Structure 1
Amino acid sequence: MRKIIIAVCFLGSVSSCQSQNWGNVLKQANDVLSSAKGGLTTEEISKGLKEALTVGIKNSSSQASALDGYLGNQTIKLLFPPEARKVEEKLRQIGLGSQCDKFITALNRGAEKAAGQAVPIFVDAITKMTIQDALGILKGDKDAATQYLKKTSTEALTNAFSPIMDEAINSTGATKLYGDIATTYNKIPFVGQKVNPDLKGYATQKAIDGLFLLVAQEEQKIRENPAARVTDLLKKVFGSNQ
């Protein structure tokens, strides 16, 4: 139990560890040991982390799936695929910038549409979390929970997102726009290597990457900001050193 309480104290202190020496951090741990009324059980820690992850997932999915959730967020906004950046540059040079802008908008609308489907996949991974997983997250880095989700849900997320994203970018017109852009570019004399109009794999991966970035931000909020702990158990687990 002593190790568990110290781990909880460490988690609450992770945001300020860089500005404190280890003596102060250990003192805080000892203070918790001295004042705790029986401490936290491993079951409470596990349940608290599952609650924290569920809160973070729902917030992230809601943020990403809102209008301009991707398009208006420069850190996760989907742009032209790297291998097609030269296409965008060339088309803008010849006066087709509006076509490029329409494609980028349609691509991000597809990601926003698909993001709303992420919650059940993430929740399934959270449900399967063991007590050992939970303790490992407590003792891990400040993005340990996000890394756990990446490890346990990326494959399922990719498999589920792929058809969703395919349908989404078709419905928003991104696929057709990209095909038109590639066709236009490929007809320009002396452009060299032709571009592949297949877009689904790129869009799927970038949408998932954006979601994980938002999840990491939510994890940081819950670890560092008491106001983000919206249930009593979250306050108990993440605020045990306060």
Structure 2
Amino acid sequence: MKKLLFLPIIALIAQAGFMDTLNNLAKDYTSNKSITNSANEEQSAIKQALKIGVKKAVTTLGKKDGFLKNPLVKIGVPKNLQIVAKTLRKVGMGKYVDEFELSMNRAAEEAVPETASILVDTIKNLKVQEAKRLITSSDNYAITNYFKTHAGKKLAQKIAPIIKKHMENENVTKYYVTMMEYYNKYASNFTNNAYAKTALGALGMSAPGEVKEKDLSSYVTNRTLEGLYTMIAQQEKNIRTNPLARSTKLLQKVFGDQK
């Protein structure tokens, strides 16, 4: 079972340094033959759970269509542009919305593998008492929230420049500008008349405003991290609630004892 866990990530991820880090971490676990007390067991179990969550999230998201074809994490147009997207689709110009969304999701898919080293460092630095608190927590997402608190800032700093560069290379801003040009030229009348504005107001919506390149980059960065946390949280809950998801004896023992 352990061997099978490594196959998808080996086939998928080729980022420099990433595999070395995970392989070294795996060696740490397998070399720890004898654990002499429950505190060490808890610490090792929580690290295994975190490692599994990280690998699952990176494997799932860090590939083509990892974001785009996953409804849980797909990055859609920003909230203040949703009326633009809906209107363009109504008038048969949805392809411009699709191109814009595709470019944002591709940026996220490229950036996710770069989060692995930070997540692994967070795992390594986990203390015994903190591990115990996380395991015994009634919150099914305590581990995921630990990542948000202790790694969130570093993760954002790591992937923000990657996303910015990708967006520049893939002309994300160009797709946004094209989408807005077609909206203003052919579709704005659907939302700019008095009746439409009244209806939008009643729905808590407003006419779209300009979105700057910096704002788009920040939006994609934030949504990328949200997607990463979502996938880690899914795996965490699965390990806590589904005995079949505990792929090692140590996980079975420690998490089974929390019932």
TM-score of the aligned structures, taking structure 2 as reference length: 0.71
Change in Cα spacing, 1:240 to 1:82, as seen in structure 2 (3 Å) is same
Q: Number of aligned residue pairs: give it.
A: 205
User: Displacement, 1:91?
Assistant: 2.6
User: Displacement, 1:58?
Assistant: 0.8
Q: Which residue in 1 is equivalent to 2:103? A: 106
Unaligned runs of 5+ in 1: 1-38
* Kept in 2: contact 1:223–1:238 (CA 8 A): yes
Q: Which residue in 2 is equivalent to 1:91? A: 88
User: Displacement, 1:183?
Assistant: 4.3
Q: Which residue in 1 is equivalent to 2:179? A: 181
* Kept in 2: contact 1:182–1:197 (CA 8 A): no
1: CA distance, partners of 2:131 / 2:150? 13
The alignment partner of 2:159 has SS state of helix
Map Cα deviations across residues 156-195 of structure 1 (whole Å, 9 max, x no partner).
1111111111123333443321132234445677756641
Change in Cα spacing, 1:215 to 1:241, as seen in structure 2 (3 Å) is closer
2: CA distance, partners of 1:93 / 1:68? 25
Residue 211 of structure 2 aligns with an amino acid whose one-letter code is N
* Kept in 1: contact 2:83–2:208 (CA 8 A): no
Residue 146 of structure 1 aligns with an amino acid whose one-letter code is T
2: CA distance, partners of 1:221 / 1:172? 36
* Kept in 2: contact 1:161–1:204 (CA 8 A): yes
1: CA distance, partners of 2:245 / 2:169? 36
User: Displacement, 1:106?
Assistant: 1.9
Same amino acid, percent of matched pairs: 32
2: CA distance, partners of 1:186 / 1:40? 67
Change in Cα spacing, 1:115 to 1:143, as seen in structure 2 (3 Å) is same
Q: Which residue in 2 is equivalent to 1:63? A: 60
Q: Which residue in 1 is equivalent to 2:47? A: 50
Q: Which residue in 2 is equivalent to 1:213? A: 230
2: CA distance, partners of 1:51 / 1:76? 24
Change in Cα spacing, 1:225 to 1:193, as seen in structure 2 (3 Å) is closer
1:14-163 aligned at under 5 Å gives the runs 41-140=38-137, 141-163=139-161
TM-score of the aligned structures, taking structure 1 as reference length: 0.76
2: CA distance, partners of 1:85 / 1:104? 12
Q: Which residue in 2 is equivalent to 1:233? A: 250
Q: Which residue in 1 is equivalent to 2:211? A: 196
2: CA distance, partners of 1:236 / 1:169? 46
User: Displacement, 1:208?
Assistant: 0.5
Map Cα deviations across residues 90-149 of structure 1 (whole Å, 9 max, x no partner).
333443211111111221121111111111111111112111211111221111111111
- Is the deviation greater in 86-95 or in 60-69? 86-95
Change in Cα spacing, 1:84 to 1:211, as seen in structure 2 (3 Å) is same
